[in-house]
Structure 1
Amino acid sequence: MMRLRNIFVLLCICSFSLLKAQELPVNYSLGENYNDRYKYSTILSIDDDQKGQTVIVRKYYGGVLLRAKGHYIEMYDADLNLIQDYNYKYSAMHMVDGFIRNGQLYLLELKYNNKKEGYEYIIHQTPLDDFNFTERSILFVSSKEVTNPLAVSKFNRSFNNGFSTAVHFNDKKNAFAITVQHREGKKKKYAMHLFGADLKKHITYDFSTAAEDKNYAFENIEVSPDFQALYFSGKAYFKKRRFDAKERRFQYEVVRVTNSGHQTQEFNDAGRYPESLKPILIDNSLVTVGFYADRKDNRYNGLCYYKLNASSLEIQSKKYNAFSEQFMVDKFGREVNAEIKNLIFKSIHVTEQNALIFSAEEYFVTKGMDATSTGTRLEVERFHYNDIVCAKLNSKGDMEWARNINKAEVTQGDAAYASYTPYGKGETMFFFINSGENPQKMSKNRILFKQGFSRNPNLFVIQVKPTGDLSYKKLVDDKDVRLPIMVSKPLIRKTDNELLFYAKRGSRKQLVKVTVN
């Protein structure tokens, strides 16, 4: 478990071509600053009900070694007032996520059942107007117990522990898919399941035969409106093929699954190597967008676009858009042949004209050594959230512009304070980031966001206009909100153009509501 006592270490550097800050159509309001009984906690979910109330579920920790102790539930009204809370004293080693539907709060847990000798997904359910949790199992798989059953990192998967499972929610969060890899005697089995948010199971499919020659690490999903088709995109690792030292051992694929069968589309054009693909249904087509490299070393050269038949997955059109000169100037200050890699999909905003505004982040993990209070040294993981990439593709897949926002964030603690939140309205994109100081001017009219040593980073908003031009402003000053804001875990209300952020440190907490006008 991450060392939760360590307050996140954050360095934020952001540079792009811009002369000065401008007024943007974004403002905020603050809730009351409340006392909080749980000093060490992480957010499991943040959602709203049909009454406009916000429900936050936090997993809290206690004891000398900071073990999970339970789940704390807070309810706020539309004016950001805390109106109710509840302590669900159930710890759960693998609580996956939470969501709300029809006045009910659902918590999804993966748990090993010693009596049945297998893993099961359990739903913890309670009415919001009268907290009273009940439990029910929605899926059971016979298996030996393993050290790490939940594939929490979809970008760095292990396939050799005998049991591995992952949960993928769709963007609307009205459905979720569960994949399970396990052993049944000497046979390796691979199963796929699709549930609606009402917990009705719509699809169950045995993918074992298709997975005999490949290990699949799926990254993103899409679900048809009638829940009768499920689309996965991700890496397919070859099991039996021999490779040269520099050769890529996987290829990206999209898999369509129904109760009666599956189709697969491979992306293996000569000299084109896709990365971080995201499928999205637009009208009657499945559009898949991501990055591509022209070499097998994952150095990205631009954005790729594929338009597929939603039923057969036949490719109807495809485009490869190289990064522009402006993009290279944004990133490096000059046009150079430098490395662009480790980009992970973050969001797609679809405009009324079916243009796509795509955003991604440069993400990777490193390991280092930290000294403890007793003088011993422990190996720790550091999570890096670097550059933001934003690009606009028209409805035919041609790139209109691509911009790079340089930043570098490192955290060993709660990643909710790092990264960023994207929000699209009309033809415009907004990015919300934490930063501790005012931007500094750099060469070539670029600016630099630098956190410094502040424990209360300011909240900045960056606007990308329909033309690709950039502007920014400091939205929330650390003198107004004296708590760090969980910038990458907001509640987004698209119908109201609102984002609700949670600010917390130690025994204090506060809500920040941002409105995009």
Structure 2
Amino acid sequence: MKKIILLLFLIGSYVTFAQDISVKSTTSEVFKDDKKNTSLLFSESDGNGGFITVREYRSGLLQMPKGYYIDHYDAKLNQINEAEIEIDKSQIKGLMINNGTVFLLESALDTKADVFNFNILESSLSKLNFEKRTLFSLDEEEIKKFFGVGIGPFFMTNGFNQMDSNPFGEVTFSAKKNFFCVNFDIKDKEAQTQRLYVFDKDFKPVFEREFKRNIQDRLFQYENIDVDDETGEIYLLGKVFENNSTRTKKKGKANYNYELHKITASTEKSVSFSPDENFIGSLFTVRGKNKISCAGFYSEKNDFRYKGVCRFNLDPETLAITKQSYMPFSEEFIKDKYGKVKDKELKNLSFRSAFINEKEDIVLNAEEFYTVTHTRSSMNGGMSTTTTYHFNDIVSVKMSRDGELLWARNINKNQSTAGAVIEYLSFSSSVIGDDTYLFINCSDKIRKISNDRIEFKQGNMKKANLYAIKIDNNGNYTFKNVVDADDSDVSYFVKQGIHTAIDGSELVFIGRKKSKKQFLKLNIM
């Protein structure tokens, strides 16, 4: 009855409660882990309709990573096999499946041998009994050179501070996992320094390079790496501050520019481009067949406001900029957001995902995310603080290959928590052909707001419906309840949705309710 009332309520609105969204859901049996706190890190198709997942589990007062669950499910989500890997000074950094073999990429410290190893854990799909081999190592002298400290206990407590991020190395795969790069972003007061190792899918070395930019480390903000799927070449994007200052604004203008570096086994090219009269808080590379693009959100006021989207197209060989465009959000978007056209920029926008289709159109998805910390007196006379996490409106934008704004939509959403249900909030996304899909948890009491708009409400996240929102090629959106809370034993962690198919048509989620856990597979038809 409640769904009939909702459908009647929405008739005549510019969005519809849709039946043209075809998403098939499959669930596993409900199960319980020995370890309570787990998170889904990686998942990949096994090539036969099933998938492998890697979940990290944590324990102890500080909730430190202690190990991993490896699970293999068939197409109907029947569990075929499982394995558990305990860790000590190590991390699993990636998952690959190739010709019926599972590969886990592990970085590990061996304090007894005074080496840092990057290992491959290998097993057949049918067994899940992993054997370890070392892909490359850094000995103590190399560690001293790159990290400025010996291995041993001091390195464990202080040596990681020599690294800007990801002390165990960042792994980036190419689009179809034909290549991958292991990247160590190293602190060096005198120069921006990164150590790069590139391998093909058979783990044969392609090249090893030390990237150095003759600028103080604090003035270079590493953004991301993109790996070419045909050659293994690397595109490294960074934000470079000017005037010997990390302030983002000087004399009313942006105090930075962006640099894209193309790195191969024997050559290095770079290009620099500025925000002109605008401000670009962050950019990210998106690789197409014929070009590499840098896309992001821009502002006319400062780094923390958002007026629209920008795109820079570059020739992948020469890095020459072939097209650049700044596209303000459309009137339709502003009406979605505010109910009427207003000359106002957004704030608190956090990037979530970027996709490029066969036409080389780019879809960017972001979310209004911010935190609020409250401090108050406790009963024992001390002070206590509570941080509330807000996951609000979704911003989805599509740009053509030539840098035109095809559509921009604001999905009104209101979610917040002080931490207890944070896994259930935010959203996952995918792009299939010309259609964009967003997956969110919310109440079935979808609220009508001013000017014929709707807002997805939070409700009880431990008993939430999972909705699919589809935005078509013209920017029209529809939505559908694909998992009803009344029919489900758990609620799913939508922020942790992982693609198991290269074309984005299959996603895997894990859900929990108290001690119960369950996998969910969604196939977009």
Asked whether 1:465 is paired with 2:472, we answer yes
Aligned pairs, number: 495
Q: Would the aligned equivalents of 1:33 and 1:508 in 2 still touch at CA under 8 Å? A: no
Q: Deviations over 1:386-426 (max 9, x none)?
A: 33221222231111221111334445368653321212222
Q: 1:227 to 1:415 in 2, by over 3 A?
A: farther
Q: Would the aligned equivalents of 2:398 and 2:405 in 1 still touch at CA under 8 Å? A: yes
Alpha-carbon distance in structure 2 between the residues aligned to 1:274 and 1:384: 23
Q: Would the aligned equivalents of 1:417 and 1:484 in 2 still touch at CA under 8 Å? A: yes
Partner of 2:68: 71
Partner of 1:291: 297
Partner of 1:24: 20
The CA deviation at 1:77 is 0.7
Alpha-carbon distance in structure 2 between the residues aligned to 1:269 and 1:184: 27
Partner of 2:227: 223
Alpha-carbon distance in structure 2 between the residues aligned to 1:373 and 1:102: 61
SS in 2 for 1:455: helix
SS in 2 for 1:266: strand
Listed as ranges, the matches of 1:102-501 within 5 Å are 102-115=99-112, 117=114, 119-130=116-127, 131-140=129-138, 141-142=142-143, 143=147, 144=149, 145=155, 147=157, 165-182=169-186, 189-212=193-216, 215-238=219-242, 240-241=244-245, 244=250, 250-364=256-370, 367=373, 383-410=389-416, 412=419, 416-488=423-495, 489-493=497-501, 497-501=505-509
SS in 2 for 1:444: coil
The CA deviation at 1:329 is 1.4
Partner of 1:14: none
Alpha-carbon distance in structure 2 between the residues aligned to 1:348 and 1:163: 25
Q: 2:512 aligns with which of 504, 508, 512?
A: 504
Alpha-carbon distance in structure 1 between the residues aligned to 2:181 and 2:393: 30
Asked whether 1:40 is paired with 2:37, we answer yes
Alpha-carbon distance in structure 2 between the residues aligned to 1:448 and 1:56: 33
Q: Would the aligned equivalents of 1:276 and 1:343 in 2 still touch at CA under 8 Å? A: no
Alpha-carbon distance in structure 2 between the residues aligned to 1:218 and 1:473: 39
Q: 1:194 to 1:70 in 2, by over 3 A?
A: same
Q: Which amino acid aligns with 2:406?
A: E
Q: 1:221 to 1:63 in 2, by over 3 A?
A: closer
Q: For structure 1, which segment, 127-136 or 163-172, has the greater mean C-alpha deviation from structure 2 after superposition?
A: 163-172
The CA deviation at 1:137 is 4.6
Partner of 1:55: 52
SS in 1 for 2:102: strand
Alpha-carbon distance in structure 2 between the residues aligned to 1:213 and 1:314: 26
The CA deviation at 1:476 is 0.9
Alpha-carbon distance in structure 2 between the residues aligned to 1:354 and 1:223: 17
Partner of 2:97: 100
SS in 2 for 1:35: coil
Alpha-carbon distance in structure 2 between the residues aligned to 1:31 and 1:109: 29
Q: Which amino acid aligns with 1:136?
A: T
Q: Would the aligned equivalents of 1:52 and 1:78 in 2 still touch at CA under 8 Å? A: yes
Partner of 2:9: none
Q: Would the aligned equivalents of 2:51 and 2:500 in 1 still touch at CA under 8 Å? A: no
The CA deviation at 1:67 is 4.6
The CA deviation at 1:54 is 1.3
SS in 2 for 1:362: strand
Q: Which amino acid aligns with 1:138?
A: F
Q: Would the aligned equivalents of 1:92 and 1:109 in 2 still touch at CA under 8 Å? A: no
SS in 1 for 2:332: helix
Alpha-carbon distance in structure 2 between the residues aligned to 1:516 and 1:205: 40
Alpha-carbon distance in structure 1 between the residues aligned to 2:479 and 2:189: 58
Q: Would the aligned equivalents of 2:492 and 2:510 in 1 still touch at CA under 8 Å? A: yes
The CA deviation at 1:311 is 1.6
Alpha-carbon distance in structure 1 between the residues aligned to 2:246 and 2:287: 36
Q: Would the aligned equivalents of 1:237 and 1:251 in 2 still touch at CA under 8 Å? A: yes
Alpha-carbon distance in structure 2 between the residues aligned to 1:82 and 1:67: 27
Partner of 2:5: none
Q: Which amino acid aligns with 1:109?
A: E
Q: 1:119 to 1:408 in 2, by over 3 A?
A: farther
Alpha-carbon distance in structure 1 between the residues aligned to 2:270 and 2:320: 9
SS in 2 for 1:167: strand
Q: Deviations over 1:189-217 (max 9, x none)?
A: 43222233433332322222445466443
Q: Which amino acid aligns with 2:21?
A: P
TM-score using structure 1 length: 0.83
The CA deviation at 1:443 is 0.9
Q: Which amino acid aligns with 2:105?
A: L
Q: Would the aligned equivalents of 2:51 and 2:73 in 1 still touch at CA under 8 Å? A: yes
Q: 1:160 to 1:497 in 2, by over 3 A?
A: closer
Alpha-carbon distance in structure 1 between the residues aligned to 2:228 and 2:487: 44
Partner of 1:7: none
Q: 1:188 to 1:292 in 2, by over 3 A?
A: closer
Q: Which amino acid aligns with 2:515?
A: S
Q: Would the aligned equivalents of 1:369 and 1:378 in 2 still touch at CA under 8 Å? A: yes
The CA deviation at 1:431 is 0.8
Alpha-carbon distance in structure 2 between the residues aligned to 1:52 and 1:347: 25
Alpha-carbon distance in structure 2 between the residues aligned to 1:496 and 1:327: 26
SS in 2 for 1:207: strand
SS in 1 for 2:491: coil
The CA deviation at 1:458 is 0.9
SS in 2 for 1:396: coil
Asked whether 1:516 is paired with 2:516, we answer no
Q: Which runs of 5 or more residues in structure 1 are unaligned?
A: 1-16, 152-157
TM-score using structure 2 length: 0.82
Q: Would the aligned equivalents of 1:401 and 1:468 in 2 still touch at CA under 8 Å? A: yes
Alpha-carbon distance in structure 2 between the residues aligned to 1:426 and 1:414: 33
Q: Which amino acid aligns with 2:464?
A: P
SS in 2 for 1:106: strand
Q: Tell me the percent identity.
A: 27
Alpha-carbon distance in structure 2 between the residues aligned to 1:64 and 1:224: 42
SS in 2 for 1:479: helix
CA RMSD of aligned residues (A): 3.6
Q: Would the aligned equivalents of 1:333 and 1:444 in 2 still touch at CA under 8 Å? A: yes
Q: Would the aligned equivalents of 1:43 and 1:57 in 2 still touch at CA under 8 Å? A: yes
